[in-house]
Structure 1
Amino acid sequence: MATNDHGEHAPIDRKADITIVGGGLAGLAACIEVATRNPSLSIVLVEKEGKLGGNSAKASSGINAALNDDDAPVFEKDTLESGTGLAARSLVDVFVRNSRDAIAFLEKQGHVDLSVLSQLGGHSAKRTHRNTQGPNVGFAIVSALQKLITDHIESHDWHIDVVTSASAEQVLFENDRVTGLVIDRVDKTGRDEGAGEPLRETIESSVVILATGGYSANPELLKKFAPGVEDFPTTNGPWARGDGIGLAQQLGAELVLMDKVQLHPTAFINPKDRSAKHKFLAPEAIRGSGALLINSSGKRFVNELATRDKVAAAILAQPSKDAYMLLFEGAKDMETTLGFYKHMGLVQVAHSIEEAAALCHVDAFVLQQTLNDYAEVSHSQQPDAFGKTVFPHPLHYAEDVTSHMEIHVMEVAPAVHYTMGGVKINEHAQVLRSDDSAIAGLYAAGEVSGGLHGANRLGGNSLAECVVFGRIAAQQAVQQLAH
């Protein structure tokens, strides 16, 4: 029988072979992997929000995978270089080797369209996959996987109990191994309305997989581990509080790279609420489709396809600490995504350089010169003054500032987007103590874990990490139960 943190026997309300905490992409991938490998196993999927998806549903740039065997070492090199020497090579190796299978898994299990390829910042090739139309890629993926799970539950093929509006409070541990999970659940019948106390339940389970995400919406944790970044707005939902990190710490888990917090360089500035603490992400795929960044003088100042840390630092070095992002022909690639942001009033469309300059409050002739300089170098295919070597949708020379030219204009600034730190895991997704011993029965996948990305994450690696390590955690859990 499970015991709580006071050593008392906890009453059992549910039993499951495997309990998964977190209903984002890592949790969904783990759930499906368990069910497909052994449909007889019982699974409880715990999600603290009222619906599944988490930050994964907000992802919009795509999911990475090595293009082929030749690209695998290049992808690994890009990931390690982005991590500035702090990425765990063993995790990167496993991640890259399994990345193509992750795409195949999504296409097979969820019938997700991932046919569009783009090249994001810090990548040496077009290896970021996204859908051709419909909602943003993250939402498309989690919606498809959620539907798959729902269909199998309704047909009684899989033994899955999805518990939403439930927070995980404690991983139970006895005789040196995981024995269950304590949750606080909102009573959907409404019996607890006004009572102020959630219903406490205990799940008996010999495996717990943590897939709870990071802590980008927890100012207290950010201030503790990375002082200063808590003052920035965040692109994350309010659920990103680092819950799984606290759960793992209770069992002696080692934490790594907790001070490594990613500022995404381009979060939309809402003209109606410029100081909002939550900002919509301006997807990196926009820059991957040829968008340029200009400062308050109407000039470029950075390689738009450098790694996120470098682009963010360059924007923060500007006197205004923000920038305008201009998208040209590449808008056709982003039509579906841009439609949502236009509706939100975050993207404006100019029909000439003169109109765009007015929206950016810069001199039209300075902007014309900036764009013509870029047009010249982009057609030469030589590195520009900022080291840019990839030029998606090269510009055409503009004869004058009033000629017709469709330009999508966005005002952007850096925001807290991702936390590279988390619980330490090995290549089997087992949660580790400080002596590298595994905590028996405890696994972690996705942003709750640390080590894969080092000091800086490449765009598109987060969704891929969720699928790769969510599946690995599930495979290891099934194997553990078989013994």
Structure 2
Amino acid sequence: MAQTIVVGGGLAGLSAAHTLLERGANVLLLDKQGFMGGNSTKATSGINGAGTQTQQEQGIPDNSKIFFEDTKKSARDLARDDLIRVLTGRSGDAVNWLQDKFGLDLSKVSRLGGHSHPRTHRGDAQFPGMVITYAQMERLEDLAVSNPERVRIIKKARVTKLVKDQSGTVTGVEYLHNGKTESAEGPVILATGGYAADFTEDSLLKKYRPELWDLPTTNGDHCTGDGQKLAMAVGAHGIDLEKVQVHPTGLVDPNEPDAKVKFLAAEALRGVGGLLLDNTGKRFVDELQHRDYVTGKIWENKKYPIRLVLNGNASKDIEWHCKHYVGRGLMKRFENGDALAKEFGLPPSVLKKTFEDYNQSVRTQKDPFGKKFFQGEWKYDDFFHVAIMTPVLHYTMGGLEIDPESRVLDGSGKPISGLFAAGEVAGGVHGANRLGGSSLLGCVVFGRVSGDSAASYLLQSTGAIVQKAGGRLSALAGQLGAGSSSSPAAPTAAPAAAPGKAAMGSYTMAEVAKHNKKDDIWVVVDGQVLDVTSFLPDHPGGEKAIILYAGRDATEEFNMLHDPKVIPRYAPDAVIGRVKA
């Protein structure tokens, strides 16, 4: 069976790969990172879906038509009805697919800004983007081991060229791996992400939105517009490249307020009832408005710092996020209103008045800022979680022009044979502004669409027969429909040390504490001592997430975010011993 080349190992690429396998095609996945996942692992609010099984069970009267209208309103004059219909019409099926095929918990549903119904799904534990992406990633890696003739994954492989034949058909790629130029043949699905961290010499960000160049970003440094540039070099048409979304709520680290890369404050924090207050302790915006609108009001108001405040009910509703942000030093907890007022540097009467005004809006359902959806009244005698916010570069709505079958189009609007795109690399899906919760959705929906289209293209172009029963395909289908075949490894099982690492042994916490620099960094997880110095550049959450715990016990934070099998699966060579009792 001929192979399809998937470029990019984030959620869009993974969804495309799994769909190709379900259709009987072979997959070669090339990812330029040492650890797959991309920005998808950072998504913190959830995935949208209309008419899902979860919504039906909770009596939420949502459907794809309502979701279409919400999305079209957000996209405004750049709305592409054909693409929005695909995104919203297949949204319920996408969420159900994740639950059915990968056994995911997506039982909690919230309403984010711009949505007329609760439709953003997440589970009780961990960030939804990480949970969804890891489930697909681990399943694909298992299949690469059990079915290497069907699935190949090459990491740290940077695609440098799309290869075309004389007819203009894309027939493969050239890529750099281990310092050598390699080539691969087959139709190509680009799933390389956006360009909101494109600070390179040929930056798309600087070319199309130079005024945003100096803003901080939530994106990993891999988001440099690789797929867009590769495709446009062979005649693909870029669309809406000036449409770059600035998210209103990036978390400011008090210890590094000017850091270029910021951690995102999930929109779900406002969805559960969080309020945005300026330095006078007053509201200035409907917290659930579209992202670009809230960002504009922050810039218009100019009363910094802007703080996101969650009361007790909101904090409990999204407890895991709060605990995570507090652990990273990005959020503080205050036990009462007086402590909160002190943090603001304001008299208690100011915050009491703010809460009273808000409660009046809750009671009358008439808000001076136009808010329509409320999560109950506020009490001054309560506990609070608070973080400082700043607008950040977040998502690029622009990208490669595609049709509803995820085929990449050229400048005349015709499909480039053999080339498909999914996820943030594709433009036009979200128009002028993306709704919260639709990034993961776009990855899954168009990942699946591109997988379907590429499999169909293979069938038509090669005459290959896609069998759905018999032999290895039956076994593969069984693995695709079952839970992850990898079982959690015991945390006490430490492998032999890698060359250059310290010898296996026992270490005191005092010894661990000495290794607290970027070029020599140890951490402790569940009693194991890890030398993560060489793993630092490959960590999908960025270097800072590890450096924060340099020379310390990171067990609580690690276990909040990761499955127990992550270390033996992805960083076994980092384990160098155990902490002395």
| TM-score above 0.5, yes or no | yes
Q: Distance in 1 between matches of 2:260 and 2:2?
A: 39
Q: 1:122 aligns with which of 114, 123, 132?
A: 114
Deviation per CA, 1:315-366: give whole Å up to 9, x if none.
1112245410000111112111222111111110111112112222333211
Q: Distance in 2 between matches of 1:98 and 1:215?
A: 26
CA contact (8 A) 1:359 1:409 kept: no
Partner of 1:471: 448
Q: Is it true that 1:35 corresponds to 2:21 in the alignment?
A: yes
Q: 2:222 aligns with which of 239, 251, 258?
A: 239
Partner of 2:159: 168
Q: 1:422 aligns with which of 396, 399, 422?
A: 399
Cα pair distance change 1:221/1:176, threshold 3 Å = closer
Q: 2:206 aligns with which of 223, 229, 234?
A: 223
Give the deviation of 1:74 after TM superposition: 1.2
Partner of 1:108: 100
Give the deviation of 1:157 after TM superposition: 7.8
Equivalence map 1:307-456=2 (5 Å):
307-328=290-311, 329-380=313-364, 382-392=365-375, 394-398=376-380, 403=381, 405-456=382-433
Q: 1:98 aligns with which of 90, 97, 118?
A: 90
Letter in 2 for 1:55: N
Q: Distance in 2 between matches of 1:120 and 1:324?
A: 19
Letter in 1 for 2:34: G
Q: Distance in 2 between matches of 1:322 and 1:461?
A: 29
Partner of 1:140: 131
CA contact (8 A) 2:280 2:303 kept: no
Q: Distance in 1 between matches of 2:305 and 2:403?
A: 39
Q: Is it true that 1:25 corresponds to 2:16 in the alignment?
A: no
Secondary structure in 2 matching 1:434: coil
Q: Is it true that 1:156 corresponds to 2:147 in the alignment?
A: yes
Partner of 2:471: none
CA contact (8 A) 2:27 2:152 kept: yes
Q: Distance in 2 between matches of 1:362 and 1:234?
A: 31
Partner of 1:287: 270
Secondary structure in 2 matching 1:232: coil
Letter in 1 for 2:195: Y
Letter in 2 for 1:278: V
CA contact (8 A) 2:191 2:423 kept: yes
Secondary structure in 1 matching 2:147: coil
Larger mean CA deviation between 175-184 and 282-291 belongs to: 175-184
Equivalence map 1:14-93=2 (5 Å):
17-38=3-24, 41-67=25-51, 71-93=63-85
Q: Distance in 2 between matches of 1:434 and 1:97?
A: 27
Deviation per CA, 1:211-232: give whole Å up to 9, x if none.
0000000133212101211111
Q: Distance in 1 between matches of 2:102 and 2:181?
A: 34
Count matched residues: 447
CA contact (8 A) 1:322 1:414 kept: no
Give the deviation of 1:376 after TM superposition: 2.4
CA contact (8 A) 1:47 1:167 kept: yes
Q: Distance in 2 between matches of 1:105 and 1:396?
A: 38
Q: Distance in 1 between matches of 2:438 and 2:391?
A: 19
Q: Distance in 2 between matches of 1:16 and 1:201?
A: 18
TM-score calculated relative to the size of structure 1: 0.90
Q: Distance in 2 between matches of 1:22 and 1:212?
A: 5
Secondary structure in 1 matching 2:210: coil
Give the deviation of 1:158 after TM superposition: 6.7
CA contact (8 A) 2:91 2:441 kept: yes
Q: Distance in 2 between matches of 1:383 and 1:166?
A: 55
Letter in 2 for 1:30: A
Structure 1 unmatched runs, 5+:
1-14, 188-197
Q: Distance in 2 between matches of 1:61 and 1:117?
A: 10
Give the deviation of 1:267 after TM superposition: 0.3
Partner of 1:204: 185
TM-score calculated relative to the size of structure 2: 0.75
Secondary structure in 2 matching 1:218: coil
Q: Is it true that 1:297 corresponds to 2:289 in the alignment?
A: no
Secondary structure in 2 matching 1:228: helix
Q: Cα RMSD between the aligned structures?
A: 1.4
Aligned-pair identity (%): 40
Give the deviation of 1:129 after TM superposition: 0.3
Cα pair distance change 1:396/1:250, threshold 3 Å = closer
Give the deviation of 1:449 after TM superposition: 0.6
Partner of 2:505: none
Give the deviation of 1:452 after TM superposition: 1.0
Give the deviation of 1:152 after TM superposition: 2.2
Secondary structure in 1 matching 2:301: coil
Secondary structure in 2 matching 1:317: helix
CA contact (8 A) 1:21 1:47 kept: yes
